[in-house]
Structures are given as structure tokens and as C-alpha cells.
Amino acid sequence: MPRFPRRALLAAAPLALAATAARAQDAVADWPARPIRLIAPYPPGGQTDIVSRYLAERLRGVLPQPLVVDNRAGAQGMIGTQFALSQPADGYTVLYINASLSLVNPIIHANPGYDTQRDMMPAVQFGTAALVLTVRPDRGLKTLADLIALARRRPGELTYASFGIGSASHLYGSMLERAAGVQMTHVPYRGSAPAVLDVVAGNAFLSINDEAVSVPQIRDGRLVALAVTGPARLETLPDVPTFLEQGFGGGLTQLGFNGLVFRTGTSPAIVRRFADAVLSVLNTPEGRQRLREMGLIPTGLGPDQFAAQLRADAPGWAQAARESGARVE
């Protein structure tokens, strides 16, 4: 084996480092050189899928490469999340997150397989989100008080469908049980769409679920809304009172959110370029209107703002998780 003088090796080291840095700079400058995969960690038909596919369509022509939606559902979104965060930090895998995935799962699950602050690099927050409590019209319930009175008469009999164990949907149901002093039976689903559809079918009694999948069923007369989460009524359901208006505050006033993150270690320049592209289509009158139609209250936060908002929201969702009593070992 040939031997090289120590002085020659030391002299070559800066050149090697410079070459590596140059290649990294080229990769950033050329991004995106191939399609970008957007991991939607819930099944098709729910809010995550609807918003993801809208973005993929609107970003055509804005980015030189397509955004390809990849649904990877299961384990309350953790399968898709773990997959996305296991991919190279090269800017070609972006993950759709919400409050459940980023701020609740790491608290209620003994081993979620990721740490939000350590593993996620925020790119853009589209908006905040409230959930809607719905039942079938033939249940004969007109108000939240009617539902609570029924639950007290039939402890443990009423089922509430959520979009997963430890999801915001689950937490809101658990918090309502505790606040109202009632007992219901939780039935978790693999996403918001199947949960709502089973309420429509009569297989579950109620659900506290995404506005995007609930409102169409309400407008078609298949469901009625009794309450909404968050501090204020929804533009799409102005006649439906909040939980707070009906005497239930605490975690039931907490709003969720939707956004996109990269794996930590991704070039900040790539993250910024991607965020700018997304915000260029969302921070328009048409973009904001479409977000409202998809059940979101537009916020349009870039990387630094979204990171700060995640930190600010974490204590409230931690408290909500504790109030719910949910725990998955």
C-alpha cells in the first residue's frame, strides 16, 4: 500500500473539504432537480389529503419539479411521520404535520419514534383548524346539552369516532367526558374521513372531527353540528356555538394547525425556497379562500414564524393531553 507524507495529507485535506462544500452548494443551487415527495400520514379523503393534493396541483409551474403526494397512513400518523424523518435531509421529502402528530403524539405515546423539536425543521404553516362535533339528524339532538343529558342516562353506550388514538379528535372527546362528567366509548379510526362516514352510517354515535370532512355532510343534511372547538365560531358554520359558549373551556378552546416540515439538517436555503413557493400560492385571495373551504383559518407562516408558533403552542397541547388522560404504552 502506498504511503503518503503527513505534510501532503494535511495539504490535501482543505481541498477535499472545499470540494465537498462545493458539491453541497451545487445541490442547493440545483434544487429541485427531481420530484419532491410530500408524505401525507393519513388516508385519502381527509383534510390532510385534500390540502396536500391542492398544493401539488397549485405548485405546478411554480416549482420546476412536481410535488408528489404519498399517503402513508397508520398508527395515528406515526408510520408516515417516522418514514419521512428517516429519509435523507436533502429537500426531496417533506412531511405534512398537525398538532396531533407534532405536539400530542410525543407526549401520550411512550415511544413515538421521533422528537418534534429535534427532528423537524418547520417550513410553512397554512393555517389553524377547529373541529366540529356532529351526530346524525335522526338522533333527535339539538344542542350539546341534549347530548350530555343522553350520555348521562346511558353511561358508556355512546361511541365517539376519532381519527386515531391520541389525535386531537380523541383528546377533545376525552376532555368533554371529563368536563361534563360523562362516560362514552372511544372508537379510533385511521383517518378523519372514515370516522365521519361511520357516524353518517350510524356505526358510531358522534365524532369531533375536521371541518373539511364534516361540513359537506352537514350541508347535505346527513349530519348536524352541536359544537365547534376553538375560541370563536366558524365562518362556515356561523350558527353553531363553540364549546366555550356552552360552558366548556380549557383544552376545548385550543386550535389545531396544519403545516409542512423537512427533516432537521435540510439546507435552510432549500427550506426557504420551498416555503416561498408554497406561500406564493396560498397568500393570495384565491389561496386563502380555498384554505377556508378546506377547513383551515389561513395563517401563512414561514419557517421562522412557524418554528416560533410550534414552541408557543406546545404548552397548551401538553396541557390538553394531560387533561384528556390519554396514554399509549
Please, are residues 97 and 261 in contact by the beta-carbon 8 Å criterion? yes
What domains, with CATH codes, occur in the chain? 28-128+257-324 (3.40.190.150), 131-253 (3.40.190.10)
d(CA 213, CA 192): 7
On the CB side of 93, CA atoms within 13 Å amount to 20
pLDDT digits (tens, 9 = 90+) for 9-56: 566 556 555 544 445 455 688 999 999 999 999 989 888 999 999 999
Q: At what angle do helices 192-201 and 211-219 cross, to 10 degrees?
A: 30
d(CA 192, CA 173): 14
Q: Measuring CA to CA, how many Å separate 91 from each of 29, 37, 101, 152, 270?
A: 12, 9, 20, 52, 6
What cell was used for 325? 388522560
Q: Is the pTM above the cut of 0.95?
A: no
Average pLDDT over the chain, rounded to whole? Answer: 91
d(CA 253, CA 235): 16
The reported pLDDT for the residue numbered 128 is: 95
Sort strands 67-71 and 36-40 into parallel, antiparallel or unpaired. Answer: parallel
Q: At what angle do helices 47-58 and 285-293 cross, to 10 degrees?
A: 160
d(CA 132, CA 320): 17
pLDDT digits (tens, 9 = 90+) for 232-266: 999 999 999 999 999 998 889 989 999 999 999 99
The SS3 call for residue 187 is strand
What cell was used for 327? 396514554
The reported pLDDT for the residue numbered 41 is: 95
